[in-house]
Every structure is written in C-alpha cells, then in structure tokens.
Chains A and B, each alone.
Chain A
Amino acid sequence: MTKNRLGFRSAHPVSALLFFVLAVTASTASTHPLTLGICFCSAAVCDIALQGKKAARLLTRVLLPMLALVSAFNGLYNHYGVTVLFRMRSGNNFTLEALVYGLVFAVKACSAVLWLDLTAEALPSDKVIFLFGRFSPRLALVISMVLRFLPLIRRQAGQINAAQKGLGALTDGNLWRRLRAAAHRLSILISWTLERGIDSADSMRARGYGLKGRTQYNRFAFSPLDAALTAICAAAFALYLLSLKGMAAVYNPVVTVPFPNAAGWLSSAALAAALLFPAISEHLTLRRHPPRADHTVKEGFVDPIRNAEFGMRNDGEPTFACHLKRPDRIVSLIL
C-alpha cells in the first residue's frame, strides 16, 4: 500500500513538535494511573494506526514483555511499602507498592518508546532540520549535511568492498588478517572521503556559503489541520498543568490515588482528544482517500525457478496465480 502522506504526517513541524512535547511530558511526568493509561493507550493506538504491523510487533514482542519484566524486577529488588504480598527466600519482603510502582515506571517508559517510534515517522529529517534552523541555521545545515554524507559513505564503503574483492584482496583467514584488511579498507575510505570533501567545500563556497546574513528557506505551510492540532494541544497542555496538583498519586509508603475532580476529568478528556489526534486524522484521511493496493511483491525471490513456484514472472511482476496462493493479497486486490 502506498503510504498516506496526509493527516498527521503532513503536520507543520512546530505543531508536530508541540504535540510530541505534550505527549512525552504527559507520559513521563504524570503519576496518576488515569493519565498514564490515557497516554499509554493513545501512544499504542496512534503508533499502530500510522505504522501498522511494525508498531504492533514492537508493542507485543518488545514492550509488553518488558512491562511485565520491569515491574517484576522492581518488586524483587525494592522492598519499600507496607503491604507485604509474600516473603521471599532471601528474607526480603515482596510488596504491593514496589510492584505497582514498577508497573507505573514501565508504563511510562513504554509510552515514551512508542511516542519516539512515532516521532521517527512524523518528524522526518527535513522537519527536524527546520526546527533546529529556528535557533541555529548553522546547526541545521550541519545536520542536513551529515544526513547527506551518511548514505554516501555507506555507498563508498560498498564500492570499496567490491573493488577489493575484485582484486582478490584477502578477506578471510585469521582474525589478525581480517583486522588488517578492514584497516586497509578504512584507510581507503578515509582518504577518499577527505579528498572529495574538498570538492564539497568548494561547491559550498562557490555558492556563497559564509556570506553574512544567511536566511533559512521555509518549505512548510501552516494548514487548518495544523491550527486545529496546535489549538487542541495548547489547551490540553494548559489544562494538564492546572490539574497536575489534583492528579498527584503517591506510591510509597502506600499507594494513594486521588479520585479525579472536575478539572481532572476535563484535563484527561482534553489530553485524550489531543493525543488521539494522529490516529483520528489518519483514519479520516484514509476514509476520504482510500489507499490503492500496490501490486508489486516486495519480498522473497531469489531465482527464476523459485519465482515460478512462487508465481512470479521472471521480470519480478507477480502473476495472478501468485495472488491466489497468498490469501492476504486477494484481500488487498479486492480492496
């Protein structure tokens, strides 16, 4: 499926930054289970809505096991609190407070990871560079250049490996030999990169880099959706800060969770509305612009014989039989 580029992914960098500041602050600074629950659930929902299977895998295979492990470990190694559940063989108490606090801590960490996972999707490099450029255009350029040169260096390293292989340079043998071969390649890469770096510097100077009064081009437009996102995030942030006092829970020596007052309910509702914004906007845009199935098969072909079994033509295009063999593709064809 082609990626949806509308909705939250198109958010203006400033709105997106405000959203993530709110999300990460609320997820890590809160103590009340209601707020933490809202943060965790919306993080999971949003990440899955935008990144699908990848996010679901992260959640079920990494984060949920981590959640259980961290709270268990906290119970095993901390012994504060008054409600003893049982006494361990070492003679220490396993307390409800330590277990619960472990769970709270783990939920905070998992929400933060989920939000960061979503950040990589919704704040691509050009938006990050724009945000940095607001206070340091020079730093923004450096980031952009680093992002430019990383793939270049990776490509050069690949070319060097192939070239060395084609000349029969030793790549196997004992550890010492392999280390020497690696050092040789590295020194090739370094001379090459430094030497051609001179060209890059020339190209920058030739285009007036270093003149006084550099500006930064703003490629982003502020849409009504951005206005809505900014407004709802600002409101939720304000309410969240106001209700912070009334929503303070304590886990030591006893678990004390206050029942939310009116401000607490209101701020929780606003927080939920703000944090679910990515998922809702994703859903709405997908309904308005239904995705088309992409017919290219991305995985798994090695040679023509296997392809024939797999139902793929030799030029890499799937045959119809290929769709019949894979029920999920039939579904995607129909959709």
Chain B
Amino acid sequence: MNITPTENFILQNVSFTYPGQTEPALRQIDLRVAQGEFVVVCGASGSGKSTLLRLLKPELTPHGKTEGSVRFFGQEASAFSPRDSAAMIGFLLQDPEYQIVTDDVLGELAFGGENLGLPNEEISLRMAEIAAYFGLEGILERKTADLSGGQKQLLSLAAVLTLQPRALILDEPTSQLDPTAADALLHTLTRLCRENGITVILSEHRLEQILPAATRVLVMEKGRLIADCPPRQMDRALFTGNEFVYRSMPTPLRLHAALGLPGPAPLHVAEGRQMLAGLLEGRELQTDLPPAPAASDEPAVECNNLWFAYNASGYVLRGLDLTVPKGSFFALMGANAAGKSTALSVMGGVLTPGSGTVKLLGKPLKKYSRKELYRGTAALLPQKCETLFAAATIREDLLSALADSGLNKEEKLQRMRETARFLDIEPLLERHPYDVSGGEMQRAALAMVLLRDPQIILLDEPTKGIDNVMKRALAQKLLALCAEGKTVVMVSHDTEFAAEYCTGCAMLFRGRTAAVGDKRRFFPQHYFYTTAAAKMARAYFPQAVTEEEVTALCQKNMPAAT
C-alpha cells in the first residue's frame, strides 16, 4: 500500500440520486478534505448531510446513482479495497445503543481487530492503547448493557479507533446524548484531531462547543454545498439570507451578525464578552427589560413531598415539592439522575410514588380513574418516540390514539386532520413512521399526545436531536397550546431552549427542587447552568438571558451613529 494521503477525500462534481427518486439528494458537490482537518457539516434535516457523509464510507454508501468522481486516499472508488476502507475510515452513527454488537466491553473493543484478522498480540496492544487513552479501565470488565449512554458512545468511538483509522466520520454523534456526555465526546474528537492528526468530519446541531475547534464549516441546503470556509470567515450574507444557518450558529456569532459589527466574528463566550466590553465599557447603561409575564395563581400540577425509588439502590426522588402554574410552559432541568424524568413519570401517573401526593388541576392523582386521567387530563410524550409507532403509516398510528375517544369515524378523521395540520405533518400522513426524519417523527408522536386532548402535556426531552429551526417551530406550537390554557411540563437539558421560550423553570438536584422561578429570576442567578448570552452579558445586562434580549439592549445603548 503506497499511498501518500495528504488528501483523504476528493469529490468532484458528485451528484447522488436515491432509487425511485427524480430529485437528486446531492447536487454537484465539490469537496476536498486533507489529512488532519476538522470539518463540521451543518444543514437542515433533509439537506443531504447524512447522504454526503455516507458517500465518504464505501461500505455504507446507500443504493442509488452516483455521478461524478469520488477518490479515497488518492485512489479511485473502484480501486479502494474493502480492507483499506475498514481500516482507514472510521464511521460513528447517531444512536450508541445500536452500534454496540457484543455483550461485553472487551468483545466490542476486539471486534474491529478480529475482523481485520489481526493476531492476538496486535489486538491486545491496540486495546491497551485505546483503554489508556479513553480511560476505559473501569468499564473493561462490564457488560455493554450496563453502561450509560455517554459511556456507550465513547465505547463505540474507542471500538472504531482500534482499527486505527486515518479519518473519522460521525453522523450527528451527540444527538442522543445529554450535554455533559456530548461535551466529553466532542472534546475527545478535538483531541484526536489535534494530537493524533486524525481527520474528523462530523454533522452536528450543537455548534456552540464544536465550532471553535473546527477548521472548516460546510453548509448544505437542498443537496447543495452552499458554503465551505473556516468558521470565522463565514459570509454575512449567508446569515441574513438563511434562517437555518443563522439559528444554528453559536450565540456570540449571532450577536455579532445581529449588531452588524465589522471584523472577525467571536466564536466562544470569552471572545463574545470582549466584544461586548469593547462596545459597552464605560457607558451609562439602560438595562431594563420587560418583566416576565405573570404566572397564573391557579396550579395545574402540585407535587408534595414525593419520594420514589426504582429499586433498593437508592431514592431517585427525595421529598420533591413543585408547583406548576396553569397555562405555563414549564421546564424541569438538572444533571443526569437528578430525577427529572422520574418526576415527570410520576406526574403522568406512569410511576406511583412511594409516598407523597400529586395533584393535577386541584384533584389528587389517586382519585382519578384511568379513563378520566388519560382522556382529557394528562398525557406524556416519552423520550424515545419509537415506543409509540406500530402501524404502516403515520395516519393509522394517529387514528389508533383516538381508538377509545368515543367519536365516530368522521369525527376521528376530522380531529386527526386538524391536529396534523396544527403540527405541520399533514404531508407525512401516508408515510411510514420510520421513513421520516427524527424531528418529524417527534412531531408525529406529539400529535398522538395531543389527540388525547390533555390539559397537562408532559414532554420528556422534546428537543433532543432536533435543530434550532425545528425547535423554534416546536416552541411556537407549544406556546400556542399554553395560550389556550393548557399546561406544558418539559424535561430538558437544553438551557438555551428553556431560556428562550419557557415561562417557568425548575432545577432538580438529587431528587429535590434546588431552584425555581421564571426565566428572569431563574437563569441570571446561575453561574454555569445558564445561557451563553447570560454568560457574555452578565456584567452589563444582569437580566438578559437570550441573544435577542442582549441585541435589543445593545442597540438601545449604542450611539445611533453606528
């Protein structure tokens, strides 16, 4: 094998069409990726990111018609052997749960080396190196089923790295992880690229952490590559013209663009803070913001001294007290294992607390019959939407949610259509639930929840794995429901989302409420668990928590001449 691969991938005028489709999924892509680059691919769902990434890994290239030329490590695609492809290009998928194929950690780490037919000593050495690099010593003897989501994704990455690839391709690797685990993964990728010279190409929604590390950003739209440049040199026109790109960018960059400032854009919070200092230092500042809208006095959910344990290993809820006002869009936040999802399940009647009481709309949960509770009072959207779909089309699944509603056939169809229209999924009704994107599946699942006509809508991590534009659309739908007097309680790790849209927030810690309040009271008092905008602008505008608020205040305080 004599390859001098400074160029890992060369795509010339590549188009790709899925079988049976007339519209190509990729159009005229020209792309060169050199060894050691860190490339972030962004774009709305359906823009062709996954297809592009899969074209870079021959084993996973989907069926369909490829035009143009793809070269791997200087070789034509046809000359690039499967063995080289397996060894040189690593690929990591979204959901760590399904990438792991063996029952124990050692077996998973050995899997790649075994496939390549390496001798025992070589496999052993590679595993030893990787275990040391990733700090896997503590989990080597464990069963893969017992690992956490973050550990599973790190193990998947480690298992790919035992093949010693020169390039790593990752398709939304953090979409199923909580922020801590996602940061750990992205940090590891940065390190692999900087210290080991491994090429990294990944698609990602969470650009806040990853953009500063990237050497290049690719932006895709409808199968085309519309931008390809270092993150600091992104064209201002791209921002203003493309809502998706604008919303995906980290807060400092957005602020820079919104204020129309000259010069290179700040990428992280520290740079953003310097930018604000340059603008605002030494000025007399107006910091008033409109107060958060007053919450209703009437409670929708009241939790009183809730205790809950799944098993003898310990309590998950330890005396939780919480009141959610009626008509609010309420976020339950906190670290992993703080009891957020458990609290939500208890509110929804899925779990029964060991002691303590839950009242829904003033009436104790215990006094509700099942029928009363789930027809018109509460419904819970689970974290994994896959748990709701059984039928061949989304239409049938939506109708099944109305099965016991007592409506006649016409009325059911009517209600189903209305809900589908409300959530913009009408065009998807005849599709198979697994043939739509993650965000669309999420909305179809939400439609099933709304068809139960609940007054209290409970959502477990509804923003996981969806992009900022879709998040915004989702929030608008939910706020519209709140305006009708319904109450939405959401478990989320997404501080930016909660700060932007929620009317109330609570932070749980070890199964109790550590802080609660509307966003004006909740976020400014936090130091770490707050938004990027609040971290940047804290010194000047202690009340501001979103990029829009900081922009508005900056504009108010800056001389009109600029």
Q: Is the CB of A145 within 8 A of B101?
A: yes
Judge if B475 is at the interface, Cβ distance under 8 Å: no
Q: Which positions 295-328 of chain A face chain B at CB distance < 8 Å?
A: 297-305, 314-316
Q: Is the CB of A166 within 8 A of B98?
A: no
Q: Is the CB of A200 within 8 A of B101?
A: yes
**Interface mask (B84-103 → A, CB under 8 Å = 1, otherwise 0):** 00110011011101111111
A residues near B379, Cβ cutoff 8 Å: 166-168
Q: Considering the chains assembled together, what is the distance between the CA atoms of A155 and B106 in angstroms?
A: 22
Q: Considering the chains assembled together, what is the distance between the CA atoms of A165 and B118 in angstroms?
A: 49
B residues near A155, Cβ cutoff 8 Å: 145
A residues near B73, Cβ cutoff 8 Å: none
Q: Is the CB of B101 within 8 A of A148?
A: yes
Q: Is the CB of A163 within 8 A of B388?
A: yes
Q: Is the CB of A202 within 8 A of B60?
A: yes
Q: Considering the chains assembled together, what is the distance between the CA atoms of A172 and B371 in angstroms?
A: 11
Partner of A166, one of B91, B314, B458: B458
Q: Is the CB of A204 within 8 A of B117?
A: no
Judge if A60 is at the interface, Cβ distance under 8 Å: no
Range of interface residues on chain B? 35 or more
Q: Which positions 13-62 of chain B face chain A at CB distance < 8 Å?
A: 57, 59-60
A167 and B114 in contact, given A152-B145, A196-B98, A301-B309 (Cβ under 8 angstroms):
no
Q: Is the CB of A187 within 8 A of B116?
A: no
**Interface mask (A179-215 → B, CB under 8 Å = 1, otherwise 0):** 0000011011001100111011011111111111111
A-B contact count (CB 8 A): 203
Partner of B110, one of A192, A203, A208, A217: A217
Q: What residue of chain A has the Cβ atom nearest to residue B120's Cβ?
A: A218
B residues near A159, Cβ cutoff 8 Å: 382, 384, 387
Q: Is the CB of A199 within 8 A of B95?
A: yes
Partner of A129, one of B107, B111, B112: B107
B residues near A224, Cβ cutoff 8 Å: none
Q: Is the CB of B374 within 8 A of A205?
A: no
Judge if A234 is at the interface, Cβ distance under 8 Å: no
Judge if A170 is at the interface, Cβ distance under 8 Å: yes
Partner of B115, one of A166, A172, A195, A207: A207
A203 and B99 in contact, given A162-B382, A170-B404 (Cβ under 8 angstroms):
yes
Q: What residue of chain A has the Cβ atom nearest to residue B344's Cβ?
A: A166
Q: Is the CB of A202 within 8 A of B93?
A: yes
Return A104 CB to nearest CB of chain B, in Å. 40
Judge if B375 is at the interface, Cβ distance under 8 Å: yes
B residues near A196, Cβ cutoff 8 Å: 95, 97-98, 386
A residues near B120, Cβ cutoff 8 Å: 215, 217-218
Q: Is the CB of A167 within 8 A of B448?
A: yes
Partner of B318, one of A126, A167, A315: A315
Q: Is the CB of A144 within 8 A of B102?
A: yes
Q: Is the CB of A205 within 8 A of B59?
A: yes
Q: Considering the chains assembled together, what is the distance between the CA atoms of A204 and B159 in angstroms?
A: 11
B residues near A302, Cβ cutoff 8 Å: 354
Q: Is the CB of A188 within 8 A of B389?
A: yes
Q: Is the CB of B83 within 8 A of A126?
A: no
Q: Is the CB of A147 within 8 A of B387?
A: no
Q: Is the CB of A316 within 8 A of B355?
A: no
B residues near A202, Cβ cutoff 8 Å: 59-60, 91, 93
B residues near A165, Cβ cutoff 8 Å: 349-350
Q: Is the CB of B354 within 8 A of A208?
A: no
Return A10 CB to nearest CB of chain B, in Å. 12
B residues near A299, Cβ cutoff 8 Å: 312
Q: Considering the chains assembled together, what is the distance between the CA atoms of A61 and B452 in angstroms?
A: 51
B residues near A223, Cβ cutoff 8 Å: none
Q: Is the CB of A208 within 8 A of B112?
A: yes
Q: Is the CB of B110 within 8 A of A219?
A: yes
Return B457 CB to nearest CB of chain A, in Å. 11
Q: Is the CB of B382 within 8 A of A166?
A: yes
Q: Considering the chains assembled together, what is the distance between the CA atoms of A145 and B101 in angstroms?
A: 6
Judge if B339 is at the interface, Cβ distance under 8 Å: no
Partner of A191, one of B315, B374, B390: B390
Q: Which positions 120-160 of chain A face chain B at CB distance < 8 Å?
A: 125-126, 129, 137, 141, 144-145, 147-148, 151-152, 155-156, 159-160
Q: Is the CB of A163 within 8 A of B382?
A: yes
Q: Considering the chains assembled together, what is the distance between the CA atoms of A206 and B114 in angstroms?
A: 13
Judge if B163 is at the interface, Cβ distance under 8 Å: yes
How many A residues, CB 8 Å from partner? 65
Q: What residue of chain A has the Cβ atom nearest to residue B145's Cβ?
A: A151
**Interface mask (A230-261 → B, CB under 8 Å = 1, otherwise 0):** 00000000000000000000000000000000
Judge if A164 is at the interface, Cβ distance under 8 Å: yes
Q: Is the CB of B312 within 8 A of A300?
A: yes
Judge if B160 is at the interface, Cβ distance under 8 Å: yes
Q: Is the CB of B386 within 8 A of A211?
A: no
Q: Is the CB of B115 within 8 A of A126?
A: no
Q: Is the CB of B355 within 8 A of A304?
A: yes
Return B480 CB to nearest CB of chain A, in Å. 21
A residues near B117, Cβ cutoff 8 Å: 211-215
Partner of A167, one of B110, B113, B312, B401: B401
Judge if A216 is at the interface, Cβ distance under 8 Å: yes
Q: Is the CB of B382 within 8 A of A303?
A: no
Judge if B357 is at the interface, Cβ distance under 8 Å: no
Q: Considering the chains assembled together, what is the distance between the CA atoms of A211 and B314 in angstroms?
A: 47
Q: Considering the chains assembled together, what is the distance between the CA atoms of A205 and B60 in angstroms?
A: 8
Q: Considering the chains assembled together, what is the distance between the CA atoms of A165 and B382 in angstroms?
A: 10
Q: Considering the chains assembled together, what is the distance between the CA atoms of A286 and B381 in angstroms?
A: 51
B residues near A184, Cβ cutoff 8 Å: 390, 400
Q: Which positions 354-389 of chain B face chain A at CB distance < 8 Å?
A: 354-355, 370-371, 373-375, 379-382, 384, 386-389
Judge if B156 is at the interface, Cβ distance under 8 Å: yes
Judge if B562 is at the interface, Cβ distance under 8 Å: no
Q: Which positions 113-141 of chain B face chain A at CB distance < 8 Å?
A: 113-120, 123-124
Q: Is the CB of B387 within 8 A of A303?
A: no
A residues near B4, Cβ cutoff 8 Å: none
Q: What residue of chain B has the Cβ atom nearest to residue A216's Cβ?
A: B114
Return A167 CB to nearest CB of chain B, in Å. 6
A166 and B345 in contact, given A188-B390, A195-B434, A208-B83 (Cβ under 8 angstroms):
yes
A residues near B82, Cβ cutoff 8 Å: 208, 210-211
Judge if B9 is at the interface, Cβ distance under 8 Å: no
A residues near B350, Cβ cutoff 8 Å: 162, 165-166
Q: Considering the chains assembled together, what is the distance between the CA atoms of A144 and B350 in angstroms?
A: 33
Q: Is the CB of A207 within 8 A of B434?
A: no
Q: Is the CB of B374 within 8 A of A203?
A: no
Q: Considering the chains assembled together, what is the distance between the CA atoms of A58 and B389 in angstroms?
A: 44
Return B554 CB to nearest CB of chain A, in Å. 44
A residues near B321, Cβ cutoff 8 Å: none
Q: What residue of chain B has the Cβ atom nearest to residue A218's Cβ?
A: B120
Return B136 CB to nearest CB of chain A, in Å. 14
Judge if B307 is at the interface, Cβ distance under 8 Å: yes
B residues near A210, Cβ cutoff 8 Å: 82, 115
A residues within 8 Å of B by Cβ?
A: 125-126, 129, 137, 141, 144-145, 147-148, 151-152, 155-156, 159-160, 162-168, 170, 172, 184-185, 187-188, 191-192, 195-197, 199-200, 202-219, 297-305, 314-316
Task: Given A196-B98, A298-B312, output 13 extra A-B contacts at Cβ < 8 Å.
Answer: A166-B349, A166-B382, A191-B386, A195-B386, A196-B97, A202-B59, A203-B98, A208-B87, A208-B112, A213-B117, A214-B115, A214-B117, A299-B312
B residues within 8 Å of A by Cβ?
A: 57, 59-60, 82-83, 86-87, 90-91, 93-95, 97-104, 106-107, 110-120, 123-124, 143-145, 156, 159-160, 163, 307, 309, 312-315, 318, 345, 348-350, 354-355, 370-371, 373-375, 379-382, 384, 386-390, 400-401, 404, 433-434, 448-449, 452, 458
Q: Can you show 24 pairs from A to B with CB atoms below 8 A apart?
A: A129-B107, A155-B145, A162-B345, A163-B384, A163-B387, A166-B348, A166-B382, A167-B374, A168-B371, A168-B375, A185-B390, A188-B389, A191-B433, A195-B386, A196-B98, A207-B115, A208-B82, A211-B83, A214-B117, A217-B113, A217-B114, A298-B312, A301-B309, A316-B313
